[in-house]
Structure formats: C-alpha cells, structure tokens
C-alpha cells in the first residue's frame, strides 16, 4: 500500500473501514513531536452538485464544531483534532481510541453478566445525557460503536451520525436542499428513527438492544418480535438476568417512544435506585424553619432515648427526643407560644424526610395511609416494640402523648416516624431502618431517600 500524506500532515498507516460515505484511516500526525495516532475520516457528499456544495460545506463545519464541543468536555467521546476539505471531499481528524469494541469483547470473553451490563449502563447513560443536553441524537449506538478503552476500562461512544447526514444532503424535486439519508443500523434503531424522525429515547432503544446482544450473544436481527405488540422477545435467552433488570431493559426497548424512559437521566436514576448505592449517613443537626405551607419536611435523625414525665412540656420534649435534637429550637418555641397556636397545626413527632434543597419544617402531614401496617417480628426489634408497630396513621391526626412513648426504645420510635413514608415506597439512609422495612411483606421500595418527595404520598 502506498503511504499517503493527507493535508500535507497526516500520514496514513492503514485503512480501518470503507463505506458509501467514504473511508476511515488510522494515521500519524506528522506535525506533532509524539507522532500521535489519530483517525482520519474521509467523507464524500452523495452528489457533487455545485448547487449544494456550499451548503454541504457549511453544514459540515457546523457539525464538526458540535463534535469538537462534545469531545472537548466529555472524555468518553473522541476529541476532534481537525477538519478540512480537499479535492471536493471532506475530512475529520479524531482521537484514536485504543480498546476493544463490545462486539470484540463478546467474541473473546463471552457473554456479559448482569453486573457488567449494569456497570455499562451506569457509565454510558451520563454520556448520553450530556449528548442529548446539546440537542444531539447519536442515532447509531450498537456494539461496534462502543469501545472499551484499554487504559481505564471506560466505554467510549464513537461514530456520531451527524456528519454523515451532512454528507447525505441532496436537492429535492422543488430544488430545495434536503437530507434523504436514514442514519442507523437495522435492528438497533427503533421504528420512528427508521422513518427519519429520531427522538432522544431512540438512543435508549439502541442502547437497550446493544445490552441484549451482550447478555444473549444474539444480534438484533436474530430476535423475534411479538406480533401483537411489536416488542422484542429476548428474555428466554438471558435466564441469568433478574426480573428487575429485565424490566428496565424492556422499558428501554419499548416499541413506542412514550413507553420508554423519557430521558437518559430518568433511566440512570431508575438503575441507581435498583442498585441502592446510597450509603448510611450520619444524622444531620440543622436548624429547622417553621413555614406555613405543606408538605412537612424534617432532616433525617435517629432518636436517642425515651421521654419521661406527664406534663405538657414533657410531652413536647419527649417528642423532641424521639425525633432527635434536630427539632430542638422549634419545639421549644412551640412550648413558649403554645397558648397562641392551634394544636392541630403541629406534629410533635416529625417523620424522617429526604433532603430536598429546602429548609426542614415541622407541620401536620396532609396524608393518611390507606392500609394498616402489619406486625412482623425481627431480630433487631424487641417483643414490646413488635406489638406496637401495627399502625401509626394517628401520627397525622393528633399530638403524641407520654402514653404513646412509654416503653418504646429509640429504634421503635424511629420505626414510628418512618412507617408512613415506608408505606409509600421510600428508601432510607439509615441502614438499620432500611433493613427493618426490607423484612416487611408490605414494603415495596420505589423511591430513593434523595428523590422521594412528599407529593408522592399525598392523597
């Protein structure tokens, strides 16, 4: 092969690929002391019509600028080094990613485990979220276009279709420039993309189909579709995948865009909730602020001891202990001004709520659980506490009294505070509380502590 020097600078080493849009070369940059290797893409417009050549050149420059921005910020997108035109053809010079494609990984190492697939999702979805934030749809996500980089094991997204669309510009029958090229790979692109109308969730579909290949070893074209729904039939080839993960993948590859995750961020949040990566945290001792608007919010705390006494002040201070020191200043102020405040507006035993970026408040919750909480004995809960956990809906209806608190240890008081939220699917930062509710047959953890909001459980 004759060694070529493109643009008097890039020395071609070998051809990496060829297609209808041009050729791709591995080259060395002779202007750099390191002779760094790079990828040079030679792109040919479909028609060399002088009427549209200027338009193609302008679009090419604009798309190259977009790729420069993407790769310049995110290191899982190849950096754009240069672009130029020569002899009626256009060239892109990009970073050379040393690694194996996902296709190569399956061929050499076998099928991926569920854990490996989840890690891939966690690493690629933030990249897609960033790409979509720039109003770009990749349109050609598939196993061959994701390279696992040698130096750090990160997946890198390559071969954006935007430039190729520029090369596909033609003139329609009315003499107006248009693009008649559908970017994508059959089997990995959804129906709306095949019709020329891709949306952001089209990339999620392609990523889901890519993951199915990693789990089953079957290319998209080898899988059947349900004749009634149009959904891909794949689960029988991946018996090692949990129903929860399979459900996430099914939603990503739903036939209609409205049934998929709306954004890459939404899909990432769902996977993070499944993985439950939020570690136990220390109680936050912050100064609450009394506000008048619902819903109630307090920072998470753990009670320290049992309250004693029967006076009204002891009721309030007993609840302070049950709720932790976080509500000290607010509860004291309620003691001093009790005669002027209606009791129905105050809850003395606050519930643990997630951090939402606003100041905590202590108020009466505006919801009542619709089902009672069954009693279940656990190794971490004593017998007296077990019999008292049946239902705590009254916490949203009246003040707590000494009788309500007598004989309860700090753990049961914590359960009292959090049972209502648990009934509505919230996870908890405190590992002991989370472990207790995990053992309850009625508990369905849906929302993470950081994303749960009281609006989810208001009637």
Active site (catalytic) residues: 140
Residue 3 and residue 375: Cα distance in Å, rounded?
Answer: 79
Q: In three state form, how does the secondary structure of the chain look? A: CCCCEECCCEEEEEEEEEECCEEEEEEEECCCCCCCEEEEEEECCCCCCHHHHHHHHHHHHHHHHHHHHHHHHCCCCCCEEEEEEECCEEEEEEECCCEEEHHHHHHHHCCCCHHHHHHHHHHHHHHHHHHHHCCCCCCCCCHHHEEEECCCCCEEECCCCHHHHHHCEEECCCCCEEECCCCCCCCCCCHHHHCCCCCHHHHHHHHHHHHHHHHHCCCHHHCEECCCCCCEECHHHCCCCCHHHHHHHHHHCCCCHHHCCCCHHHHHHHHHHHHCCCCCCCCCCCCCCCCCCCCCECCCCCCCCCCCCCCHHHHHHHHHHHHCHHHHHHHHHHHHCHHHCCHHHCCCCCCCCCCCCCCCECCCCCCCCCCCCCCCCCCCCCHHHHHCCCCCHHHHCCCCCHHHHCCCCHHHHHHHHHHHHHHCCECCCCHHHHHHHHCCCCCCCCECCCCCCHHHHCC
Q: Which residues contact 8 (CB under 8 A, 6 or more apart)?
A: none
41 annotated ligand binder: yes
List binding-site positions for ATP.
41
């Amino acid at each position: 092969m004759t060694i070529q020097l493109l643009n008097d600078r890039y020395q071609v080493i070998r051809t990496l690929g060829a297609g209808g849009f041009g050729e791709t070369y591995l080259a060395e940059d002779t202007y750099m002391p390191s002779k760094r290797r790079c990828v040079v893409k030679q792109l040919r417009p479909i028609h060399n019509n002088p009427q549209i050549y200027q338009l193609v050149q302008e679009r090419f420059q604009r798309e190259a600028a977009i790729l420069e921005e993407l790769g310049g910020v995110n290191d899982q997108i190849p950096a754009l080094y240069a672009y130029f035109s020569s002899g009626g053809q256009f060239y892109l010079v990009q970073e050379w990613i040393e690694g194996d494609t996902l296709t190569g990984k399956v061929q050499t190492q076998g099928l991926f485990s569920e854990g490996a697939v989840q890690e891939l999702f966690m690493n690629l979805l933030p990249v897609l979220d960033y790409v979509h934030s720039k109003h770009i749809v990749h349109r050609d996500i598939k196993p061959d276009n994701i390279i696992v980089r040698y130096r750090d094991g990160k997946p890198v997204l390559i071969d954006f279709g935007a430039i190729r669309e520029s090369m596909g510009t033609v003139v329609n029958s009315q003499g107006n420039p248009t693009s008649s090229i559908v970017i994508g790979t059959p089997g990995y692109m959804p129906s709306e993309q095949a019709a020329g109308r891709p949306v952001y969730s089209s990339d999620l579909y392609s990523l889901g189909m890519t993951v199915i290949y990693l789990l089953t070893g079957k290319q998209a074209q080898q899988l059947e579709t349900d004749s009634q729904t149009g959904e891909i039939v794949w689960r029988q080839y991946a018996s090692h995948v949990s129903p929860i993960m399979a459900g996430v993948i099914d939603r990503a590859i739903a036939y209609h865009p409205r049934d998929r995750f709306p954004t890459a961020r939404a899909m990432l949040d769902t996977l993070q909730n499944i993985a439950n990566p939020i570690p136990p945290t220390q109680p936050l001792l912050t100064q609450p602020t009394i506000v008048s608007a619902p819903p109630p919010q307090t920072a998470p705390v753990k009670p320290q001891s049992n309250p004693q006494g029967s006076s009204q002040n002891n009721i309030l201070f007993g609840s302070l202990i049950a709720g932790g020191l976080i509500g000290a200043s607010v509860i004291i102020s309620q003691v001093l001004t009790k005669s002027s405040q209606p009791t129905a507006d105050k809850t003395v035993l606050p519930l643990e709520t997630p951090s939402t970026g606003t100041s905590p408040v202590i108020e009466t919750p505006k919801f009542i659980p619709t089902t009672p909480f069954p009693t279940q004995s656990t190794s971490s809960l004593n017998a007296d506490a077990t019999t008292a956990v049946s239902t705590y809906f009254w916490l949203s209806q009246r003040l707590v009294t000494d009788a309500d608190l007598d004989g309860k240890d700090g753990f049961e008081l914590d359960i009292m505070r959090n049972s209502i939220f648990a009934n509505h699917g919230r996870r908890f930062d405190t590992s002991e509380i989370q472990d207790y509710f995990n053992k309850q047959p009625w508990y369905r953890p849906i929302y993470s502590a950081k994303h749960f909001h009281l609006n989810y459980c208001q009637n």
